[in-house]
Amino acid sequence: MSRLTRLRALLAPHTLDAMLIHKAENRTYLTGFTGSAGVALVTEREALLLVDFRYVEQAVAEALAWEVVHVPRQAVETLVELIRSRELRRIGFENDGLTYKQFEELGKGLQPAQLVAVDGVDRLRWVKDADELARIRRAVAIADAGFGHVQRYLRPGVRERDVAIELEFFMRREGADKEAFETIVASGVRSSLPHGRASSKALESGDFVTLDFGAVVDGYHSDCTRTVVLGGPSARQREIYDLVLTAQEAAVRGIRPGLAGRDADALARRIIADAGHAEHFGHGLGHGVGLAIHEGPTLSPREDATLEAGMVVTVEPGVYLPGWGGVRIEDLVVLTTGGCEILTTAPKRLIVV
Phi–psi pair at 175, nearest 5 degrees:
120, 0
Task: Give the whole-angstrom CA distance, residue 23 versus residue 60.
Answer: 19
Read off the pLDDT of residues 141-178 as tens digits, 9 standing for 90 and up: 999 999 999 999 999 999 999 999 999 999 999 999 99
pLDDT one-digit tens code per residue, 19-68: 999 999 999 999 999 999 999 999 999 999 999 999 999 999 999 999 99
229, 352 contact by CB (below 8 A): yes
Segment 194-218 shows an average pLDDT of 97
Average pLDDT of the segment spanning 103-114: 93
Residue range(s) occupied by CATH 3.40.350.10 in the chain? 2-125
* Strand ranges in 104-161 using DSSP code E only, listed in sequence order: 114-118
Nearest 5°: the CA angle 89, 92, 98 is 125
CA distances from 250 to 22, 305, 317, 339 (A): 39, 21, 11, 12
With cut-offs at 50, 70 and 90, classify the pLDDT of residue 1: low
> How confident is the model at residue 170, as a pLDDT?
98
User: DSSP string of 53-69?
Assistant: GGGHHHHHHH-TTSEEE
CA distance 106 to 227: 48
The pLDDT of residue 348? 96
pLDDT tens-digit profile of 222-234? Answer: 999 999 999 999 9
Distance in angstroms (rounded) separating the CA atoms of residues 152 and 168:
15
List, by residue range, all CATH 3.90.230.10 domains of the chain: 130-342
- Beta strand 47-51 with 90-94 is unpaired
Q: What is the dihedral of CA 268, 273, 277, 278, to 10 degrees?
A: 90
What is the pLDDT, as a whole number, of residue 73? 77
In degrees and rounded to multiples of 5, residue 52 shows phi and psi of -90, 180
The DSSP secondary-structure symbol of 203 reads P
Which pLDDT belongs to residue 52? Answer: 94
Contacts of 292 (CB under 8 A, 6+ apart): 25, 221
Percent of the chain whose pLDDT exceeds 70: 99
Q: Which CATH number fits domain 2-125: 3.40.50.170, 3.30.70.20, 3.40.50.300, 3.40.350.10?
A: 3.40.350.10
The pLDDT score that the predictor gives to residue 75 is 75
pLDDT score for 17: 97
Identify the burial level of 312 via C-beta atoms within 10 angstroms of its C-beta, where 0-12 means exposed, 13-18 middle and 19 or more buried: buried
Residue 84 near residue 110 (C-beta atoms within 8 A): yes
On whether the CB atoms of residues 290 and 343 are closer than 8 A, the answer is no
CA–CA gap between residue 352 and residue 230 (Å, rounded): 6
Which residues on adjacent β-strands are paired with residue 40? 21, 49
Checking if the pLDDT of 190 tops 80, the result is yes
Q: pTM, whole model, 2 decimals?
A: 0.95
For residue 274, count other CB atoms closer than 10 A to its CB: 11
Mean pLDDT across the stretch 122-137? 98
Arithmetic mean of pLDDT over the chain:
96
Cβ-based neighbours of 35, under 8 Å, separated by 6 or more = 51, 54, 55, 58, 59, 62
Count CA atoms closer than 13 A to 27's CA, side-chain side: 23
Q: By the 8 A CB rule, do 68 and 53 touch?
A: no
What is the CATH code of the structural domain delimited by 130-342? 3.90.230.10
Q: Is the pLDDT of residue 297 over 80?
A: yes
The confidence score (pLDDT) of residue 77 equals: 87
